[in-house]
Structure 1
Amino acid sequence: MDPVRLDLTARLARELGLLDAPGVVVAGAGVAPDALLETVHDREYVTAVRRVSADPRLVDLQRGLGTEDDPVFAGMHETAARVVAATVDSADAVWSGECTHAVNVAGGLHHAMRDRASGFCVYNDVSAAIQRLLDAGARRVAYVDVDVHHGDGVEAAFWNDPRVLTVSVHESGRTLFPGTGWPADVGGPDAQGGAANVALPAGTGDAGWLRAVHAVAVPLVRAFEPQVLVTQHGCDSHFLDPLAHLAVSVDAQRAVAATLHDLAHEVCDGRWVATGGGGYELVDVVPRSWAHLLGVAAHAPVAPVVPVPPDWTAHVAALLGRPGPARMTDGADARWQPWEAGCDPASVVDQAVLATRRAVFPLHGLDPWFD
């Protein structure tokens, strides 16, 4: 979670001309007030974060504050609350019509729970943004999470809320934190079908990952007919990521950003709030993946063959003493076989996809084999 990944992303996006593209506004964010944080977090938890933020010696392990994943540091509350404000501001801007798309690459902190920190996440900016949309009058919000880790905090926040659909496409909990997100997890008693989880086997590459997104997330969002699409684009599914075991390319991540952008235009008049998330290969992966996301959102997509700007690579060399990537591509063709072409019962990826479709699709009036 080194902040250098955000600096390098912003620098790359600027060097590519994305932040100066027509219609693009780069907005700052303040520190979210406690009242906003408490729409998705317990007051006692917010107080605890404030306490350890003021004095990092006061760890609170019961609330996940001071663990290896979530070490405490001075200013922790203000830093995490600013991320929340940025994503909520993005949701406000999209819902009000101020803009059609909004992106906060610092956001996507999807593991934070109502009463505790988890998995590098202190406050859950995505849950706060979805709750703000609901409070503002949205009747249906769809959330698609393509981070390599299960989007457990957002799912938990809206587990029994029929107004929210959460879809998570992630590496199986058998091999990766947080060990949750199974096909049978379909939502609470009042929101059956409100959650969908694709637990992919370790080693899944572009073809399987893209097939899963298109075979589960896309048809479910279409069936749900949301008024706003919220997405989380953790890029730790990449084959170079040091913390996970999928084998996805930047090219496939770019393709999914484009797919979800197009889906927002198809189902909810373009209203799209996108965030970053995980991603721990700080030079070769995160900046390129999220620059592609920003390009898609700005309606100025970056062609994969575009060279990485030399000023950016020079900055990387001076800052980190290593070379950066040469182009905006991994050289992958990012192809996949549509589900409609047939299911292979011997494929472990297809087994994972079919398990989710069987569990969730009938709850939306869809046929798990054909829709």
Structure 2
Amino acid sequence: MNAKALFIYDENETAYRFNDSHPFNQKRLILTVDLLRKAGALPPESVISPGKAAEAQLYHVHSREYVQAVTALSYPEPEQKWLQQAEKYGLATEDTPFFPGMNDITMGLVGGSIRAVDAVMTGETVHALHLGGGLHHAMPSKGSGFCVYNDAAIAIAHAKSAYGSRVLYIDTDVHHGDGVQWSFYTDPSVCTFSIHETGKYLFPGTGAVNERGADSGFGTTVNVPLEPYTEDESWMECFSEVLGKVAEQFKPDLIVSQHGCDAHAFDPLAHMHCSMEIYRAMPRFIHQLAHQYCGGRWVALGGGGYEIWRVVPRAWSLLWLEMSEHAIIGQLEKDPELALPSSWLKEWQPYCSEALPSTWLDPVETWEPIPRRNEITQKNRQTKELAMLYLPK
């Protein structure tokens, strides 16, 4: 092995940008990379560039017609016939509007996730992280939920076609990983696990516990929809108990995980009440599973996260610190109040209207308790039991 973990990144990935007021803001990549560098946790030799997907690789998941539409709508002035069809392809919505250069820029993000799979499966590294990826809502013939191409699904399809991998996909975004689920709903060689806020109140409205796969893929779709205002302890109980049993039954060759960090209490687009603790604990659990079941082979991707100042940089940094087994992770065990680098705070505080957190973890003891905690916990436990009724064999 050449490296324990590789960090796949290129500042050009920040060009994935719909418009100036859109909540999907890739400046969070710059903030995260800068935090890791100022913490002394991202040596230059760990960073590799993403490369670009080949068009043929998109067809593992997306229709030729859809790729043609994305390409046509990427010109500075698209032809009228494509403008008239943009809505049909999900690219004229407030969430996912087409933008100039969209095709090339998104193919770069897809290329990064494919590069991560190749790095892990060829033994170049044990773990690979591509924070520019995780666009899990895009459908075969439609853009959706800020996602143009589904790099997560394409990377999984690549792992299958190039390496014959049996893949466990783990989605920790607060929004259900619908695009990946439906791409492999009948496929017994891909198990999709998604823990998210219930779709009763949140986009995309899917991810119910009774969505379990179909035909020979029955049992290889596992959903854990949690109640609004779920907190750390209940989230981690449901996550670890269900996922532990899923991994034990499915026995993957490769884990691909998506790390949206929008279940945090500060995130503006959801209703959960978790702290930075789950973003320390979730990667640690996945890390253990990777070594227990698939020789450490683990590809991690980014995803949602719309509090780009106070949440995303810390959450994604904790993921990399766990993957690379950096000393800071051990220090946090001894000192939960460990401070962030003062140089990072000094650099970015002038641009943020609220006070940036000064520590890696949150002072949850100062947060106001959720009044329905017991009721929420009990409902989540019922969901957890239902999720474990038909697990993959």
Same fold by TM-score greater than 0.5: yes
Q: 1:217 aligned to 2:250?
A: no
Q: Percent identity?
A: 39
User: Given the alignment, which residue of 11, 23, 38 partners 2:59?
Assistant: 38
User: Given the alignment, which residue of 184, 187, 190 partners 1:158?
Assistant: 184
Give me the TM-score of the superposition, normalised by structure 1: 0.91
Deviation at 1:138, TM superposition (A): 2.8
Deviation at 1:229, TM superposition (A): 0.6
User: Given the alignment, which residue of 7, 18, 42 partners 1:19?
Assistant: 42
Q: 1:180 aligned to 2:203?
A: no
Deviation at 1:322, TM superposition (A): 4.6
Q: 1:279 aligned to 2:305?
A: yes
Deviates more, 1:305-314 or 1:233-242: 305-314
Query: Are 1:30 and 1:85, in contact at CA under 8 Å, matched by a contact in 2?
Result: yes
Q: 1:327 aligned to 2:359?
A: yes
The superposition leaves residues 101-157 of structure 1 with CA deviations (integer Å, 9 ceiling, x where unpaired) of 000111111001111100000011111111111012334110111110100000111
Q: How does 1:1-371 map to 2 (within 5 A)?
A: 1-20=24-43, 25-55=46-76, 58-59=82-83, 60-300=86-326, 301-302=328-329, 303=332, 304-320=336-352, 322-332=354-364, 347-358=378-389, 360-361=390-391, 364=393
AA matched with 2:133 = G
Deviation at 1:10, TM superposition (A): 0.8
**Structure 1 pair 354–230 and aligned structure 2 pair: CA distance change class (3 A):** same
Deviation at 1:31, TM superposition (A): 2.7
The superposition leaves residues 145-181 of structure 1 with CA deviations (integer Å, 9 ceiling, x where unpaired) of 1110100000111111110100000110101000001
**Structure 1 pair 315–200 and aligned structure 2 pair: CA distance change class (3 A):** same
Query: Are 1:160 and 1:187, in contact at CA under 8 Å, matched by a contact in 2?
Result: yes
AA matched with 1:282 = I
The superposition leaves residues 285-308 of structure 1 with CA deviations (integer Å, 9 ceiling, x where unpaired) of 000000000111111153243311
Query: Are 1:239 and 1:247, in contact at CA under 8 Å, matched by a contact in 2?
Result: yes
Measured in 1, the distance between the counterparts of 2:267 and 2:383 equals: 22
Query: Are 1:345 and 1:351, in contact at CA under 8 Å, matched by a contact in 2?
Result: no
Measured in 1, the distance between the counterparts of 2:209 and 2:352 equals: 42
AA matched with 1:30 = G
Query: Are 2:305 and 2:312, in contact at CA under 8 Å, matched by a contact in 1?
Result: yes
Deviation at 1:79, TM superposition (A): 1.5
Measured in 2, the distance between the counterparts of 1:347 and 1:87 equals: 37
The superposition leaves residues 213-264 of structure 1 with CA deviations (integer Å, 9 ceiling, x where unpaired) of 1111121012111010110110001011000011111111111011101110
Measured in 1, the distance between the counterparts of 2:240 and 2:157 equals: 26
Query: Are 1:32 and 1:85, in contact at CA under 8 Å, matched by a contact in 2?
Result: yes
The superposition leaves residues 176-214 of structure 1 with CA deviations (integer Å, 9 ceiling, x where unpaired) of 000001111111111111100011111111111001111
Query: Are 2:165 and 2:254, in contact at CA under 8 Å, matched by a contact in 1?
Result: no
Q: Provide the secondary structure at the position in 2 that maps to 1:136.
A: helix
Measured in 1, the distance between the counterparts of 2:206 and 2:77 equals: 30
Give me the TM-score of the superposition, normalised by structure 2: 0.86
Number of aligned residue pairs: 351
Measured in 2, the distance between the counterparts of 1:331 and 1:139 equals: 41
Measured in 1, the distance between the counterparts of 2:230 and 2:178 equals: 21
Deviation at 1:317, TM superposition (A): 2.3
AA matched with 2:138 = A
Query: Are 1:142 and 1:165, in contact at CA under 8 Å, matched by a contact in 2?
Result: yes
AA matched with 1:260 = I
Moved over 2 A (4+): 55-59, 301-306, 317-323
Query: Are 1:101 and 1:272, in contact at CA under 8 Å, matched by a contact in 2?
Result: yes
Q: Which runs of 5+ in 1 are unaligned?
A: 334-343, 365-371
Measured in 2, the distance between the counterparts of 1:73 and 1:318 equals: 30
Q: Provide the secondary structure at the position in 2 that maps to 1:101.
A: strand
